[in-house]
Amino acid sequence: MKASHQSNCGIQRACNMNLYVKDGVVLREEQAANYPAPKDPDAPDFNPRGCQKGVCYAQRMYDPTRVKYPMKRVGERGEGKWRRTSWDAALTEIADALLDTLANEGPQAIIQCGGTHVQNNDTVGTGPNAFFGALGAPSANVTADNGDDHQGVAITLGKIIEGDSADNWYYADMILIWGGNPVYTNIPNYHFIAEARYRGAKVVAITPDYSPSAIHADLWVPVNVGSDAALALSMCQVIVKERLYKEEFVREQTDLSLLVVESTGRFLREKELKRGGREDVFYLYDQASGRVMEAPRKSLALDGMVPALEGTYQVETPQGTVAVQPVMEVLRRHLDEHYLPEQ
């Protein structure tokens, strides 16, 4: 029979597996290796896709130490003393605690940490989201306990994770392994990194420990713990100063051309240019026409405009003339002042 494993490894989960079952007992698991061949005949494919965690996953069902029933703590926290309780008793205790909290403190005192609707809207998350939403309880973002990366991407792009599929790693000329250890945590897909390196890509591991991924990199950068942001910003300083970016891409795909009011550090908005103006209409300086123009709102297409990425410009507002600069100009100055590589 066919199967998959949802909970092994997060985002790259659900490798296709074949299960061999007799009398309702799983005897063996193996990779199905039924992924379609890539369109590029020179590129590696996903097959067989799977790992040692997947091929022994059924052991969890039959492990004698598996917890099969609700257990209630009977000792001090950390003592490891538990007793078995019934499902009815456990659910009643949880329900009573929820009702007491709702009555005495209100729904804001209950928090759901499984992710918001925009982050967790699959079959796993729909039930909890509906339940806690009906209670009026807040939902924390899915990585609230260790960072806000998912929430930031969700707010910006509408999904919690964006990027190419792992097979596109094969075409990279430079691969940065940063903030992860894919040799351990992305086993089904890591071979694309190894094959890219064999093809000639340079692999750089930025990590304080000599991790299994660092072992297989061309360059290991042993940053101090907590200094990643400073390193990244110093890299940005070099990229911006030496103009190593693609200007056309930056103009079209980022907000670095939007104008910022120099005195406030906030985006120039329509509401600041006329009464009744909108909060969500922004502006750029078009080098083609030599005028401040409204930035496109529903499309990335610039329609012949050439947004400026540097310089200072004057804009007339009902309150008088104000100086404005593109975000890139503000960013360049900030990087030069605080994030030189030698610092």
Residue 146's pLDDT is 64
Residues in Cβ contact with 298 at an 8 Å cutoff, skipping those fewer than 6 apart: none
Three-state DSSP class for 22? strand
Following DSSP, what letter does each residue of 221-283 receive, concatenated?
A: E-PPTT-HHHHHHHHHHHHHHTT-S-HHHHHHHSSTTBEEETTT-SB-BGGGTSTT--SS-BE
Q: The tokens 């990425």 sit on which residue?
A: 309
- What is the tens place of the pLDDT at every residue in 159-210? 766 677 888 999 999 999 998 899 988 888 999 999 999 999 999 999 999 9
Q: Is 3 exposed, middle or buried (0-12, 13-18, 19+ CB in 10 A)?
A: middle
Instruction: Specify the pLDDT at position 276.
Output: 87
Distances in Å between the Cα of 101 and the Cα atoms of 91, 108, 128 are 15, 9, 18
* pLDDT given for residue 123 in this prediction: 60
Rounded Cα gap, residues 297 and 280, in angstroms: 9
- The closest of 238, 207, 246 to 336, measured between CA atoms, is 238
Bridge partners for 314 per DSSP: 323
Using CA atoms, how far apart are residues 331 and 322, in angstroms rounded to an integer? 19
- Residue identified by tokens 């304080």 is 208
Indicate the domain borders of the chain: 2-62, 71-157, 166-221, 247-338
Q: Sign (positive/negative) of CA torsion 298, 300, 303, 304?
A: positive
Residue with tokens 């005195």: 263
User: Residue 2 in 3-state DSSP?
Assistant: strand
State the pLDDT at residue 5.
76
Q: What is the pLDDT of residue 121?
A: 53
87-103 as b/e: b if 16+ CB within 10 A: eeeeeeeeeeebeebee
Write the DSSP string, 69-98: S-EEE-SSTTS--EEE--HHHHHHHHHHHH
Task: Dig out the tokens for 135 from the structure.
Answer: 């209670």
Report how far apart the first and last C-alpha atoms of the chain are (Å, whole number): 59
Q: Are 231 and 246 in contact (CB under 8 A)?
A: no
Nearest to 116 by CA among 83, 81, 80, 158: 158
Count Cα atoms within 13 angstroms, Cβ side, for 27. 5
Q: How far apart are CA 170 and CA 198, in angstroms?
A: 10
Please give the average pLDDT of every successive group of 10 residues along the chain, which has 343 residues.
72 80 92 89 89 86 91 93 96 96 94 65 70 86 69 71 82 94 90 96 96 96 93 96 95 94 94 89 95 90 93 91 96 95 86
One DSSP character per residue, 23-87 reads: TTEEEEEEE---PPPPSSTTS---TT---HHHHTTTHHHH-TT---S-EEE-SSTTS--EEE--H
Alpha-carbon span 37 to 41, nearest angstrom: 8
Are the C-beta atoms of residues 193 and 187 closer than 8 Å to each other? no
Per-residue confidence (pLDDT) for residue 175, from 0 to 100: 97
CATH entry, 166-221, from 3.20.20.80, 3.90.650.10, 3.40.228.10, 3.50.50.60: 3.40.228.10
For 72-90, how does the pLDDT look when each residue is reduced to its tens digit (9 = 90+)? 999 999 999 999 999 999 9
